[in-house]
């Protein structure tokens, strides 16, 4: 029975990768918190506020905000014909709200 479990676990890992079941305690370096998978060594971003791992979407948003690449524009200010548009950081007006 143990052999079957090991073979199925090996096949599962080939197709789906590590499940990150064995995680370290949270580490915080330079104001970024993460946990490390003890099986594969991958860093998983962690939120000390919610005490949960961050999703890939939350990590991308956090990195974009830190890089200064995100500017929120109210929907009423967008032209309806062209749809949503990205505004480069260099074209910000100094009087606009960040």
Tell me the domain boundaries of the chain: 20-71
| pTM of the entire predicted model | 0.52
pLDDT score of 78 more than 70 = no
Largest CA distance in the chain: 69
Q: Which residue has the higher pLDDT, 19 or 76?
A: 19
pLDDT for residue 50 is more than 70: yes
Q: Whole-angstrom Cα distance, residue 82 to residue 80? A: 6
In angstroms, rounded to a whole number, what is the distance separating the alpha carbons of residues 87 and 49?
30
Helix (H, G, I), strand (E, B) or coil at 28: strand
pLDDT band at 33 (very low <50, low <70, confident <90, very high): very high
Give me 93's structure tokens.
């007006």
Residue 8's pLDDT band, with cuts at 50, 70 and 90, is confident
Cα–Cα distance, 70 to 33 (Å, whole number): 22
User: Which residue reads 């948003």 in tokens?
Assistant: 61
Side by side, which strands form the sheet with 43-47?
Answer: 27-29, 32-36, 43-47, 52-53
Average pLDDT value for the chain: 79
Q: What's phi and psi for 17, nearest 5 deg?
A: 80, -170
Residue found under tokens 């104001």: 31
């Amino acid at each position: 029975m143990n052999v079957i479990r090991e073979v199925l676990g090996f096949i599962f890992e080939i197709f789906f990768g590590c499940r990150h079941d064995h995680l370290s305690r949270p580490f915080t370096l330079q104001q970024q918190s993460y946990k490390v998978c003890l099986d594969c060594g991958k860093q998983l971003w962690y939120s000390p506020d919610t005490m949960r791992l961050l999703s890939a979407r939350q990590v991308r948003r956090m990195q974009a905000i830190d890089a200064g690449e995100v500017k929120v524009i109210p929907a009423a200010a967008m032209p309806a014909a062209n749809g949503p548009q990205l505004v480069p950081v260099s074209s910000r007006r100094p009087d606009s709200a960040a």
